[in-house]
Amino acid sequence: MLHRFGFAIVLSLTIFAVASCGNGSGRTGSSEAAVKSISVSPGSATILMGKQQQFSATATYSDGSTKSAPAGLTWSSSNTAVATVDGSGLATGVAPGNATILAAVGAVNGASSTKVQTVLATLDRSTDVAGPDKNNNGVRDDIDQVIAGFGLTAGQAKALTQFAAALQVAILSSPDKNSAYSNAVELHRGQECVFSQLSADSTKYTRQIKAFTLNTQPRVMAFLDFSHNASGAVYPQPTGTLCK
């Protein structure tokens, strides 16, 4: 039996700021002073997946002087599928997972860390299997939000939407073996479409969409009924256009 609690996907980003010895233009103190440490602000933050958080870095030098956003400061992400960051330190939570955000001035010298939590808006847990679909695209509205929050290209998001719509049809309209067979073919087509757009990352995204879609006991039971009706058949490789 499923526990009834809202889904919250936590993205833990360990954000390291690193800097090297060097001069900081616009600061007071000796021009020979070296970078002693780097601090990153804010110290912690919670953002919605797909939303943004601005970070800043301040260098402290060996002579005690400080400089915000020292010259030559660069930002980068170790895993852009999880989080991205631009040249100004503006980070975007893309998907659940772990990433390291790096702020650097030349080689490594000082380090500071801060923690970011990326949370997903509460998933629909209404008692009916279908759930709300205000735009009538065949996908629950909260699943639309999940896909938008991944920060993918338009083509990649469209492929995931196709897969989500096929999954939704499968749990809503598979009362017998014939309908389940047809729905399984389309679900397979949706999976292949996602693979054509996301390659090795496709399984990660389709698993998340499946987990988010089947988030209540009635929805899980509907999927089990579909799987039962679809079992035992031989399914050919999808032909023709994979992505609609």
DSSP string, 65-116: -EEES-TT-EEEES-TTTEEE-TTSEEEE-SSSEEEEEEESSS--EEEEEEE
Measured in residues, the chain has a length of 244
The last residue of a domain, from among 87, 119, 151 = 119
Same domain? 115 vs 15:
yes
Please determine, for residue 243, whether its predicted confidence score (pLDDT) is greater than 70: yes
Same domain? 146 vs 111:
no
- Split at pLDDT 50, 70, 90, the class of 5 is very low
Query: Is residue 50, in this structure, part of any structural domain at all?
Result: yes
- Split at pLDDT 50, 70, 90, the class of 54 is confident
Q: What is the pLDDT of residues 221-239, one digit of tens each?
A: 999 999 999 999 999 888 8
Contacts 24+ apart (CB under 8 A), 30-35: 30/63, 33/61, 33/62, 33/63, 33/65, 34/61, 34/62, 34/109, 35/59, 35/60, 35/61, 35/62, 35/70, 35/105, 35/109, 35/110
Same domain? 114 vs 68:
yes
Query: Is residue 240, in this structure, part of any structural domain at all?
Result: no
Same domain? 178 vs 115:
no
Count of beta carbons in the 10 Å neighbourhood of residue 153: 11
Please determine, for residue 15, whether its predicted confidence score (pLDDT) is greater than 90: no
The pLDDT assigned to 117 comes to 52
Query: Is residue 148, in this structure, part of any structural domain at all?
Result: yes
Query: Is residue 211, in this structure, part of any structural domain at all?
Result: yes
Q: What is the pLDDT of residues 149-196, one digit of tens each?
A: 777 899 999 999 999 999 999 999 999 999 999 999 999 999 999 999
Same domain? 84 vs 149:
no
Picking from 17, 112, 22, the residue whose alpha carbon sits closest to that of residue 61 is 22
Same domain? 18 vs 110:
yes
Query: Is residue 125, in this structure, part of any structural domain at all?
Result: no
**CATH number of the domain where residue 29 is located:** 2.60.40
The pLDDT assigned to 95 comes to 66
Query: Is residue 168, in this structure, part of any structural domain at all?
Result: yes
What percent of the chain has pLDDT above 90? 42
3-state secondary structure of 56: strand
Domain count, the chain: 2
The model's pTM is 0.58
Query: Is residue 184, in this structure, part of any structural domain at all?
Result: yes
The pLDDT assigned to 155 comes to 96
Quick one: how many helices (H) and strands (E) in the chain?
A: 5, 11
The last residue of a domain, from among 86, 119, 152 = 119
Same domain? 70 vs 152:
no
Query: Is residue 129, in this structure, part of any structural domain at all?
Result: no
Domain that holds residue 219: 141-230
Same domain? 193 vs 159:
yes
Same domain? 77 vs 23:
yes
Same domain? 15 vs 109:
yes
Same domain? 76 vs 21:
yes
Same domain? 112 vs 149:
no
